[in-house]
Each structure stands twice: as C-alpha cells, then as structure tokens.
Chain A
C-alpha cells in the first residue's frame, strides 16, 4: 500500500484492488516534498514579479526627487507664480498652478460628490428593476470612458455648441464625468457594508426610510464614503487630457473659474517641457514632484480615514 502525494491535505491510498480512496489526513504529518517545492517556486516567482513591478515606480520617484527635489526648497516655490519670468530665467514659483489644480479639483468635487453619492444611495437603497439596472450600466460605461473622450465631449458642448470660452469650469465639468463613477462605486460598496439589521432596527422604531438613510446609514458609512471621495479626487487631479483641451495655461495667478486662463500643475509641466533651457526643465521636475506629493497626500489621508473609521458593525 503506497501513499501518493496529491498536493493537497488529502492523501490517496492505493488499495489492493487498485481503486483509489481519498482519506482526510486532517493536516497532520509532514508536508509532502512535491508540495514544498511548488510552494517555494510560487513564492520566488511572486517576489520576482513584485520586484519587477517596483522597478519603474522606484525609478520614476527617484528621478523626480533627484531632478525636482531642490525646486521645492526654493524660497519662492510655494509663494510665487511664473508672472514675468521667461524660460531662460530662474526663479518664480508654482503657486499659480498648485492653486489652479486645487480650485478645479474642489469645483469638480463639489459637483461630482452629490451626484455620485445620491446615485449610489439610489442604487443601494431604492433601485429595483430596469431603471436601476440601466443606471448601473451607465455608471459602468462612464467608468470606461477615456479622459480625452470626456474632454472632447465637454469641448463639443461647451465651446462648439454654446460658444463659451475654454475656462476652468469647463475643465471641472469634464473631470466630473471622470469622478462620478469612482464616487458612485466606492459609495455603493460602503453602503452595502452597512448591515441590514441597522436599517431594520431603525424602521422598527417607526423611523421613515429616508430618515433612516440620512441619520443611520450614511453616518455609519461616512468615513468610507469620504475615503472614496478622496481617492476619486486623487485620481482626477492628475488628469491631463481635459486640461490640455479645455484649460489653457497662464503664468499668472487666476482664481476665476468662469473667465480667463487658469494654470494647473499638469499644464505647467506641459508648457515648460517643450523648452530646452535648464531653468524651465527644473520647473518641470519641480511641478511633477509637487503633483505627485499632492496626490500622495490625498491618498494617504484617504487611507488613514479608512483605517480609523471603517464601517463598524
């Protein structure tokens, strides 16, 4: 009678008449040699894959840090714009672009968060039947829309059809299209995590459904929803295509979303990138590092909120 290794926690006993009978060994006994080898092999392969994936990440972060790190320590970087500074000059700062990115991000969030959260509430709490399936399908489609398509769509409506100027608000509109599906999906996940028992406990107190959602469900899922919003914001703040199409660059500080050009970090990078002069190239790397840090900050804050305020049950 031989015991054949099957690579699982069961062993097959060959009985005398040749038929194999599975028997649970309940995890006792030594690991079979074949399984140990495969285990090691899988471990090595996974570590290699991980290291390979890490190479470009470390490379990018490294070169941006090396080439742009010193710009962030320039005394004027976070205080001055590029007003009156040519590409051959050193000096000036990126505050106009940082501000523009933040203003457009905030305007986007202001529109995308209510739309996204209310859509998610509809889908999780109310949606039944064909309409809910249609909405969910639309959100799926929106998730797959490339940013340049969103930008061109807004261009077609805003500029071609209505004849408006290319302004910060148009950029925000196109970013809304990209942010809404992210907010919908993450909020949906968080609302689904709220146990049904809590809704029923509230109904059983004679609380109407909308009040149950507003006062019990949303507060329970709140930190998760905030995390989703921040991650969605991080995703759209780095978008470039809508900015190139709808948000022309300016070296000056601009705060008006509805008229004039407004600088952003991606358009600043794009502007100075075409220059061959070192001061401009330094600013490209500086702006890139600033953008990375901004997005990293949003991500980290989002994760911290997620960690400390997970849906409690």
Chain B
C-alpha cells in the first residue's frame, strides 16, 4: 500500500515567482520523513506539489517530475483528483467540515467518491477512527458535530478523514503547531503507528519533533528573502541531528539562526 516518492529536478512557481528550486529527493515507503527549515523556505509549497494541491492556487505551477513508485504524477495523462485520493493530506489548522457530524466527516471522502453501502461505511469509519486513536473518545457521539471536539481531537478527526480513503502516502503540514503538548504527544504517537502502513511526510518547525518522529530529515533553506528555497541536505534523522554534512544545517539545528 505504501509507496515510494522520487522527486527529480523540481521547480515550483507562484506565477512568475520561483518559490522552490531544483529539488531532487527520495522518500522511502513505510517511513516518516520530516521537512525542516526556516519559515518561508518553501516547505509547505514543496509538500503540496506531492499531491498536486499546489496547482489549486491561482498561478501555481511546477517543472520537473514527481514519481510515485513508477508513475509520474505530472504526466499529462494523470488526473490530479486521482492523485489526491492516493496521496492524502493533513493541514496545519484542524479543518473538519462544519456542517457535518463526526461520522459524516470521516465518511465524507468515501461518500463523495461514491461509496453508499451503509455497513461498509460504518466499518471504514470505525477502522479509521481507531487508526487515528480517536474511537474511544467519540464512539458514543458520532452524530455530534465534528467542530465540537477539542483542537487535538479535531486534528485526529482530520487524520481519520484522510486515512479513511486509504491513501498510500500521508502528507502533514505542521499538524501540531496549533495544538497543546498533550495533543501533540497523541499525534506523535499516532504517526509512530501509522508509519507501518503509510509513507508519511511531515513538515515541522519543531526540531525536537522531527528528531522524535522521523526516520529521515530534509533540511530546506533559502539564500535570502525573495530567492527560491532549496533542499540543502537530506539524510537519516540521526545523522542530520548529530553530524550534518552542510554548515547551514548545523547552524540551523544548533539554533544559530532560523
């Protein structure tokens, strides 16, 4: 189920502005890869190219290749909607659908993609909520609005919603930055179990978090504001945090800038 991502020579633009330049990297299946780097260096922008969400922004476009196993996501034959079914995403701010109950939120992706069978929906919702470590907290109030949950629960609800459509890859853009430490802990534990089934890419501004949850870490940087962000180096998380190759990485992780 989990798939490998191979990025080759990727440039990402907002209109005429080149936000990310010349990224080549490999993301291993069944592992957690963390993106770190100063804010504005294009982590979110790059992450969103991995499920073709970048082109939703007016003027957003991409040069280069993103291979999911053997398929080029940017080949003209590929439907971006289908890509997003395979590569799911969790956002910085929890964003459950406000008109829907907890159950309907998790079922939304399945229903909107045509699954009608009540029994199968209920099964998938339960599996997904269990998978997101939320089932025990919400099993007695599945018909209550999703917006009524706490921030941390909402974020786990969003994770349940994302895994309900059974993607191969899960992208997370600073999923804990709006959460308290307890909820953050819950999400980090969750990431630890999810990685046995999914390829996970997580953007975080919290370096301890990257060190705790990830197997591989990619450090992005930008030369100056207004210049495109670049991938400085990518390696095993342990290596990045103990003995990085690049001077800029060492400066960043030791807190000398950023």
* Interface of A toward B, CB cutoff 8 Å: 128, 195, 197-208, 211-212, 215-216, 219-220, 222, 311-313
- Judge whether B78 is part of the interface by a CB distance below 8 angstroms: no
- When A206-B85, A215-B112 are in contact, do A201 and B56 touch as well, CB less than 8 Å? no
A-contact bits for B219-242, CB 8 A (1 contact / 0 none): 000000000000000000000000
- Judge whether B147 is part of the interface by a CB distance below 8 angstroms: yes
- Judge whether B162 is part of the interface by a CB distance below 8 angstroms: yes
Contact A206–B165 (Cβ < 8 Å)? yes
Interface residues on B, range: 20 to 34
CB contact between A208 and one of B51, B81, B89, B147 (< 8 Å): that residue: B81
Contact B97–A205 (Cβ < 8 Å)? no
Q: Name B158's closest neighbour in chain A (CB-CB).
A: A201
Complex Cα spacing A197 to B83, Å: 19
- Judge whether B84 is part of the interface by a CB distance below 8 angstroms: yes
CB contact between A202 and one of B82, B98, B112 (< 8 Å): that residue: B112
CB contact between B84 and one of A205, A312, A313 (< 8 Å): that residue: A205
Residues on the A chain within 8 Å of B84, using CB: 203-206
Complex Cα spacing A204 to B97, Å: 13
Residues on the B chain within 8 Å of A212, using CB: 112
Complex Cα spacing A202 to B161, Å: 10
Complex Cα spacing A312 to B91, Å: 18
Complex Cα spacing A155 to B53, Å: 51
Q: How far is the CB of A58 from chain B (nearest CB, A)?
A: 41
Contact A313–B81 (Cβ < 8 Å)? no
Q: Name A218's closest neighbour in chain B (CB-CB).
A: B99
Q: How far is the CB of A225 from chain B (nearest CB, A)?
A: 13
Residues on the B chain within 8 Å of A311, using CB: 98
Residues on the B chain within 8 Å of A219, using CB: 99
Residues on the A chain within 8 Å of B98, using CB: 198, 220, 311-313
Residues on the A chain within 8 Å of B58, using CB: 128
Complex Cα spacing A216 to B97, Å: 7
Interface residues of A: mostly helix, strand, loop or mixed?
A: helix
Contact A201–B95 (Cβ < 8 Å)? yes
> What 20 new A-B contacts, CB under 8 Å, besides A201-B95, A205-B109?
A198-B95, A200-B91, A201-B158, A201-B161, A202-B97, A202-B112, A203-B84, A204-B53, A205-B108, A205-B112, A205-B113, A205-B165, A206-B81, A206-B85, A207-B108, A208-B81, A211-B112, A216-B99, A220-B99, A311-B98
Residues on the A chain within 8 Å of B56, using CB: 199-200, 203
Q: Name B82's closest neighbour in chain A (CB-CB).
A: A206
Q: Name B86's closest neighbour in chain A (CB-CB).
A: A206
Q: How far is the CB of B164 from chain A (nearest CB, A)?
A: 8
Q: Name B164's closest neighbour in chain A (CB-CB).
A: A205
CB contact between A204 and one of B93, B113, B147, B162 (< 8 Å): that residue: B162
- Judge whether B60 is part of the interface by a CB distance below 8 angstroms: no
Residues on the B chain within 8 Å of A220, using CB: 97-99
Q: Name A208's closest neighbour in chain B (CB-CB).
A: B81
Complex Cα spacing A206 to B108, Å: 11
Residues on the A chain within 8 Å of B161, using CB: 201, 205
Sampled A-B contacts (13; CB under 8 Å): A198-B97, A199-B56, A200-B56, A200-B89, A203-B53, A203-B84, A204-B88, A205-B85, A205-B165, A206-B83, A207-B113, A212-B112, A220-B98
Q: How far is the CB of A73 from chain B (nearest CB, A)?
A: 43
Residues on the A chain within 8 Å of B158, using CB: 201
Complex Cα spacing A199 to B108, Å: 13
Complex Cα spacing A174 to B53, Å: 44
Residues on the B chain within 8 Å of A208, using CB: 81
- When A128-B58, A200-B56, A312-B147 are in contact, do A207 and B95 touch as well, CB less than 8 Å? no
CB contact between B97 and one of A128, A201, A206, A222 (< 8 Å): that residue: A201
Give residues 105-139 of B contacting A (CB, 8 Å). 108-109, 112-113
Q: Name A205's closest neighbour in chain B (CB-CB).
A: B109
Residues on the A chain within 8 Å of B165, using CB: 205-206
Contact B108–A197 (Cβ < 8 Å)? no
Contact B108–A202 (Cβ < 8 Å)? yes
Contact A312–B99 (Cβ < 8 Å)? yes
Complex Cα spacing A313 to B165, Å: 24
Complex Cα spacing A206 to B84, Å: 5
Complex Cα spacing A215 to B97, Å: 10
